[in-house]
Amino acid sequence: MNPKTAKLTTLLGTASFLTMANAIAAQAQQVAQAQMAQAQPEVPEQVLITGSLIRGTVAVGVPVTNLGAQDFKTTGALSTADLFRSIPEFNVNVGGGAGTVAAGRAEGGTRVNLRQLDTGSAPRNLMMIDGLRFPPQDQGLCQIEPDIIPVVAIDRIDLLLDGASATYGSDAIGGVFNVILKRAYDGAVTTGGFKNGAGGNNQYFASQLWGRTWDGGDITLSYEWRNQAAINGTINKRYTFDFSPFGLDNRTPIGSSIPGTISTGATASVDNTNYPANSGHNCTNCFAIPAGTGRAFNAINGGVGPTAPFSGSTLNWATFNVAGNSGTNGTRNEFNPYSIADYTSALQFTGGAVTVDQRLTKNISFYGEGLYGMRRSQVKNNNNTNQLGSLGVPTYNPYYPTGGAPTNLRVAYHMSIESPSISDGNELSLRYQGGLNIDLPSGWAAQASYSVTRDQNFLVTTGTVNKGAVSAALGWTMPVSPASGTKPAIATWTKPGTIPYLNLFCDARTIQCNSPTTLGYINNYSRNDEVFQLNEKSIKADGPLFDLPGGTVKAAIGANYITNHYYDSVPLEEPNANTTVNLPVDVQNRSVWATFAQVNIPVFSDMNASRGSGGWSSKPPGVTTSTAISAAPAIRRSASTGCLSTI
């Protein structure tokens, strides 16, 4: 044989052999993959759709937007509320109890408001977890606040940024966001981190995710911890009452003075707002107490301290009434009260979740889940009640100035140095639910579920002062207080003899001017408790009906029964000065049952598309237009108040 021919034959034979070998290897790999696929555990599937009650369909109108783990990484968000700040349709309040936001923010809630439709007294948007509603949150604000859900437990968040009241009820008139928890996770992930924030707002976080799947079931466990330090009130130069650097007014209240500001007589220039008529920020009859004035409280007379007139005086009017302490210098002791308050509160969060799935029979599978979230907060308040605008002091107060002082002296003074107002709050959210997924004939499926959700929070505020008790501690006899509502009338009263006099002629920044007994006497204590529990039972079935040129007509039918239990109490105790306890309690219960149906009719789709001379006569390929018809829920028995009216 020709050597060249022999070489060519050998090469072709080698190529054929390699081709056969590769084909055999590929076939073996396919067989191995098929065997591995058969060996994979079969896990019950959870089909969770937002905006529609029918599997395999989508919300008609605005499409559903999905947010997932990658979005948290991309934005650097440590919480759900932080992530929502990146979405233009949402208005998100500053988190952690910003001092500029009143009522309910002190317990650390972060309100998420879709298109600014929530008013604060009734929610217009609905938050759900795995397709079941979560009650409104926080102190009577009826707000939506998803931060109570551990981020590590979230698989995705479905956002329906359009009205969905026909599907979910009137509280979804502005839109829906549905938080989907992780399920069927196999493995473990541990995360931790640190985030440096301005104004001392450092944040720490750690989480653990673990899951296991087996043939016919799965379990996923998650845990998360977050710690966020408070932001100091000096973080923003506009966090002030003095807007003169910006060409506006100085609105610093005269009561924000340390040491105090003395005035002679009750004139228009010395009031809580410090605005004399047509005179700008002037206080010509005011005198600034010099720094360092006073001495530490002396527990003489059996611990009561000075009692005789002028026996505790350290301020001499003859040497004090000089230009250095009056005129343009008379208000020099005013300070920005926000500088000693927090801009946002300190927060600590711990939470976890568990999801379980288990196939019971060929056509029936069980699913269950539990959720726990606890958030605690602490914040130093700028409390207006601690700003004593212009209080008269009786001349028999032992600290009244000597040296021929006028008998009508009044003092403006800020008590928060000696008695800081601090709010401690928490929010606890619990959810457990379970149900069955049932495969029915003809492509239909049914789902029955039962869930209990409880959201409760409390807010305790200490350190605020009662101005009636302050006047009594100065030495005045308090007049009769008439009855008001359930609060009885209070006769005239004075401070007990065991309570030392209050000293306002002293520099509390460096001196312990007053006895702790006196400070305790003038303090208020308040606590607000709120509990909202929601119990929901539901059953639903959906599937195909018949075919049209545009596709298959599908329908869903079902019913649910929801009971709401709401409890709110606002106890306000004024110890010693007022022995009564004001305890308004609001208890509400409401039951709602509803039946519903939805039909999805495809009008145009790829199935009936045709090309005309100008292009497609229907939608381009891949686009489906359908019509969804939902029956409004039938509501029975309703008694509501506040935010319950929209459920």
Interatomic CA distance for residues 226 and 207, integer angstroms: 9
Around Cβ 98, how many Cβ atoms within 10 Å? 19
Q: Does 645 have pLDDT greater than 50? A: no
Pairing of strands 65-68, 154-160: antiparallel
Interatomic CA distance for residues 582 and 244, integer angstroms: 42
What are the phi and psi torsion angles at 490 (to 5°)?
Answer: -125, 130
Residue type, 262: I
Interatomic CA distance for residues 621 and 292, integer angstroms: 82
- pLDDT tens, 541-589? 999 999 998 889 999 999 999 998 888 776 555 554 444 445 566 778 8
For residue 178, give the nearest of 209, 203, 155 by alpha carbon. 155
Top-confidence residue, 85 or 639? 85
Q: Mean pLDDT across the chain, nearest whole number?
A: 80
Please answer whether residues 501 and 307 qualify as being in contact, where contact means their C-beta atoms are separated by less than 8 angstroms. Answer: yes
Top-confidence residue, 641 or 29? 29
The single-letter DSSP state of residue 482 is P
Interatomic CA distance for residues 92 and 108, integer angstroms: 13
Q: What is the mean pLDDT of residues 62-78?
A: 81
Any idea which of 275-289, 295-309, 329-343 has the lowest mean pLDDT?
A: 275-289
* Entry pTM: 0.77
Q: 50: pLDDT confidence band, cut at 50, 70 and 90?
A: confident
Q: What is the mean pLDDT of residues 443-452?
A: 95
What are the phi and psi torsion angles at 350 (to 5°)?
Answer: -140, 135
User: To 10 degrees, the CA torsion angle through 462, 464, 467, 468?
Assistant: 0
- pLDDT tens, 147-195? 888 989 999 988 888 888 888 887 888 888 899 999 999 999 999 998 8
What proportion of the chain, given as a percentage, has pLDDT over 70? Answer: 78
Which value, in Å, is the radius of gyration of the alpha carbons in the chain? Answer: 35
For residue 516, give the nearest of 299, 255, 300 by alpha carbon. 299
- pLDDT tens, 194-249? 888 877 888 899 999 999 999 999 999 999 999 989 888 888 888 888 888 888 88
Interatomic CA distance for residues 434 and 442, integer angstroms: 25
pLDDT value of position 55: 87
Around Cβ 156, how many Cβ atoms within 10 Å? 17
What are the phi and psi torsion angles at 239 (to 5°)?
Answer: -85, 75
